[in-house]
Amino acid sequence: MKILLNITTIFFFTISMNSQNNLPYYQIPEMEENYTAQNTVARMIDGLGFRYFWATEGLRALDLAYQPKGKGRDCQKTIHHIYDLSTKMLSLTKTEFKQEIEKDKMLFAEIRKQTLLNLEALSNIIKTSKDLSEFTIRKDGEISIPFFYIINGPIADAIWHTGQIASFRRSSGNPINSKVNHFSGTVSN
């Protein structure tokens, strides 16, 4: 019975990891040099996606459980928080994007995948918008949250927490792939 359980676990883990191979942000997508507000914000999100991809690539159970001393979140909870930020950004920009599985049923690989897909959808909607002010949140006909708050709120927060994951994994003995170039958004062979 124990052998069957182990084989089944390995089988589903392999399927889950293979589905990770087709995720966005292995590299930052190419973009023409057109400096609009929309392209600039989309590039920030693409940079976040790239950093998140590599900060979460190849995490082990040990890395996910890592928590600095004190009362902060462990790595797994930080990943869940970034997922929550990605769904919040989608809702703030009125972006309809289906979440494949309910959050409480997601395993690490699924939450990682959905977060990357959420960031890609967010970047795409922002690139195709006519003006960032269309994402201003209105309440009772009055402006309540300008788009700037999305930048200095959930976008900046997600970048911050992605850096924490990179730091956590380094502390638990599993640093990010040294072939990742965060400046160019590429990976050398």
* Partners of 189 in beta bridges: none
pLDDT at 135: 85
Tens digit of each residue's pLDDT (9 = 90 or more) over 8-59: 444 444 444 444 568 999 999 998 888 999 999 999 999 999 999 999 999 9
The residue type found at 38 is Q
Query: Which single residue is written with the structure tokens 């400096």?
Result: 35
| CB proximity list for 47: less than 8 A, separation 6 or greater | 28, 159, 185
Tens digit of each residue's pLDDT (9 = 90 or more) over 57-113: 999 999 999 999 878 899 999 999 999 999 999 988 888 888 889 999 999 999 999
C-alpha 4/C-alpha 10 separation (Å) is 10
C-alpha 60/C-alpha 80 separation (Å) is 16
Instruction: Write down all domains in the chain, each with its CATH number in brackets.
Output: 36-184 (1.20.120.450)
Strand, helix or coil at 173?
coil
Nearest one of 160, 157, 138 to 147, comparing CA atoms? 138
